Amino acid sequence: MPLSANRDVFITCAVTGSGDTTQRSDKVPVTPQEIADAAIDAANEGAAIAHIHVRDPKSGAPARDLHLYKQVVELIAQSGVDVVLNLTAGMGGDLTLGSAENPLPPNPSGTDMAGATERLLHVRELLPEICTLDCGTMNFGEGDYVMTNTPSMLCEMAGQIQSLGVRPEIEVFDSGHLVLAKWLKEQGLIDDPVVIQLCMGIPWGAPDDISTFNALVQNLPEGWIFSAFSIARNQMPYVALAALAGGNIRVGLEDNIWLEKGKLATNGELVKKAAFIARTMGYNILSPQDVREKLKLQKRWGK
C-alpha cells in the first residue's frame, strides 16, 4: 500500500451507535443530554465531526425518534462548541427473520422497516451537515438479523438527501457496497465531493486485514474523500492505517468500548488518543471549519 502525501486528517467520533454496548459499559451515552455531552467532549478533544444515533432514554435501545434527535442537536447548539453533525439514517432498515425454518413472518423483536421518507424525517427537519447512507444489505451477528438497504431504497434516499442539500456519508461495509456507491454516483444521485466511510472488521462484511482494506482504497474513484475504521481492539491501529492510506479517522464508543485492556473508555478519551497518534505521526488535525470547506458542507443547524 503506497503511503499518501496527504498530511491533513479529520476525526469523526461515533458516540453511541445502536448496538448492545450499553449492557457492557456504563460510559456509553443513552439520554439526549449524555449523547450531546459526549459529542461536545469529543469535539473538545479534537473531533471535527460527531456521528449521532439516539437511544430510548429508559431502556437504552436504539431509536429513531425525531424528538430525541432534536434534543441532542439543540443541546449541542446551546453549548457553543463547534462540531459538524452527522446524523445516522441507517435506522429503519432492520429486518429480523423468524427463524431458519420459518423465516416469515419476520420477528417483531429487532425488525424495524420504514420507507425512505420516514427514515429521513429527522434529517429533513433538522438539516444536519451530513447524514449517513448505508450502501447495501448485509448479515449481522449470528442470528437472523439482516441490515436491509435495497437498490431502490438507496436511490430514493440518496435523491431525497441530495434535494435537502445534506452531504451523504456513504457507509461501505463490503466491496459490493462500493459498487453500489459508484452506481448511485453514475445515476447523478450523489454530488461531489463524494464522502465514503470504510467500515472494516464487522462480521460478515469486509475483514479488516490490510489486503482487503488496500483493495477497497485502491478501488475508490479519484477525488472521493474517505474515512476508515475498525472495531474493538483494532480501532486504534486503524487510526494509523487510515491516515497512512490518505484517509481520515473514526473512533468512538459505537465501535469500541475499551481505552486499553481492562479499562473502559469515554468518547473523549478515544478521540484524545487518536489525535495523539495522528499528531505523533506528523498529521495535522482539521477543525470543524476546515472540514466544512473540504467537504463543501452547508451549516444550517443551530441557527
Q: pLDDT tens digits for 72-95?
A: 999 999 999 999 999 999 999 999
Under DSSP, the state recorded for 149 is -
Identify whether 258 is preceded by a cis peptide bond (ω within 30 of 0). no
Provide the grid cell at 165. Answer: 442539500
Give pLDDT tens digits for 128-138.
999 999 999 99
pLDDT at 4: 67
pLDDT at 303: 54
Give how far Cα 111 sits from Cα of 54, 84, 114, 163, 192, Å.
17, 30, 10, 28, 34
Give how far Cα 131 sits from Cα of 29, 57, 194, Å.
20, 22, 13
pLDDT at 6: 82
Domain borders along the chain are 8-295
pLDDT at 2: 63
pLDDT at 14: 98
pLDDT at 226: 98
Q: What is the pTM of this model?
A: 0.96
CATH topology of domain 8-295: TIM Barrel (3.20.20)
Calpha distance 10→197 (Å, rounded): 12
Q: Which residues, given as ranges, of the chain have pLDDT below 50? A: none
